[in-house]
Amino acid sequence: MTIPRNLRPAVLFGGPSPEHDISILTGLQATRSLTEAVDEVTALYWSKAGEFYGVDPRLEAIAFAEGVPRGAAPLDLAAGPDGGFLRKRKPLALDVVVNCCHGGPGEDGTIQAAFDLAGLAYTGPSLVGAYLGMDKLAFTALAAQAGLPTLPRVAVTPETDSFPFGGPYVVKPRFGGSSLGIEVVEDAATARALAAANPLLRDGAVAEPFLAEGRDLNVAVRTYPVLELSAIERPERKGGGGIYSYAQKYLSPGGGGLVSSPRELPARISDDLAGRIREMARAVAALCAVRSVARIDFLEQAGEVWVNEINTIPGSLSVYLFVDPPLGWGGLLAGMIAEARGERRVFRAVGADGTALRGAASVAAKLGGATASG
């Protein structure tokens, strides 16, 4: 599968999210790959303040270190039939937007809803898939209801004084990425205090048992042209314990980030364990309406495995996990773009023919005699 040379893609990256910087790195990788496949790529930078800009697709990461880079052109995002990204009130000619935003409004359904209203084709999760993937409490409840093995996970609130399972506990953002803001604590009081003090947890926090001897096992799934699973990876936790941290994922020596962070790939695990993980990954993909590419994270200890989280716009789009056979950025993006262009959301008002309006009494009658003052 190849990308048509005359395609007019845009790549969106950045955004008002704690994962802003990592989103830029993923976006620049996608942009650089697309410049080799098509004649023109539009690079869309979403600032920390929530403003949109068109930027030079050839920029390096350092250009964004202090914020909006030089030469950036302000853009507007407008809804409606003639909407989309506008420069000086004129729509940009775009066939598809490759969404590389991690966390925040770029991955929780917010930008997806805006794109739907603007009539834009875009990669990544739909509105529903994005929200389900971002809300860790809802995702766990959905997976458990479907019969998938999950660790107990509960909300941490100002009223929390105990948990229905033993410690120590992992406390993490309810709405956020898979690494930022995660802490291991010994008791509920510390979890409660952490949730109140940590800005990454103020929108919501969850707690779950900490598996001191557990290990992370991850697999990516892409959905076009057919559902396909990547190799299973085992990220290496620092010192063999603790948690797989943001620094280990993204700040590895040499600047390679996720692509070069230490891991077993493919993971050296039994065929039975690999089979169970793959079966559960397929179930999660169907359950969460996965689209484009997603990474599904599992926890394993002593042969028992649990579904942990889903990342609907994973770092580097998980291209590095597709090693057998190697897929590469070109192959991954070609499938994502073809799928997105075939699934543009269209709103219809079928059935709203005015019958209810023509037969209605006065609005006052509908209010049952209530007055404006109550």
DSSP state of 192: H
DSSP string, 117-186: HHT--B-S--HHHHHHHHBHHHHHHHHHHTT--B---EEE-TT----SS-SSEEEEESBS-SSTT-EEES
Give the other-Cβ count within 10 Å of 113's Cβ.
17
- The correct answer on CATH 3.40.50.20 for the domain covering 9-123 is yes
pLDDT of residue 338: 97
Cα 23 to its chain centre, rounded Å, is 10
Read off the pTM: 0.90
Domain boundaries, the chain: 9-123, 152-210
Candidates 188, 172, 189; CA nearest to 246 is 172
pLDDT of residue 240: 46
Q: Is 193 helix (H, G, I), strand (E, B) or coil?
A: helix
pLDDT of residue 82: 82
pLDDT of residue 248: 54
DSSP string, 339-369: HHHT-------TT--SHHHHT---HHHHTTT
Structural domain 152-210, CATH architecture: 2-Layer Sandwich (3.30)
Torsion of CA 240, 245, 247, 252, to 10 degrees: 50
Q: Is 303 helix (H, G, I), strand (E, B) or coil?
A: coil
CA atoms within 13 A of residue 127's CA, in its CB half-sphere: 10
DSSP state of 374: -
Across the 374 residues of the chain, what is the mean pLDDT of every consecutive 10-residue run?
95 97 98 97 98 97 97 96 93 97 97 96 97 96 98 95 96 85 95 94 95 96 97 80 53 56 92 98 97 98 97 97 95 97 89 90 76 52
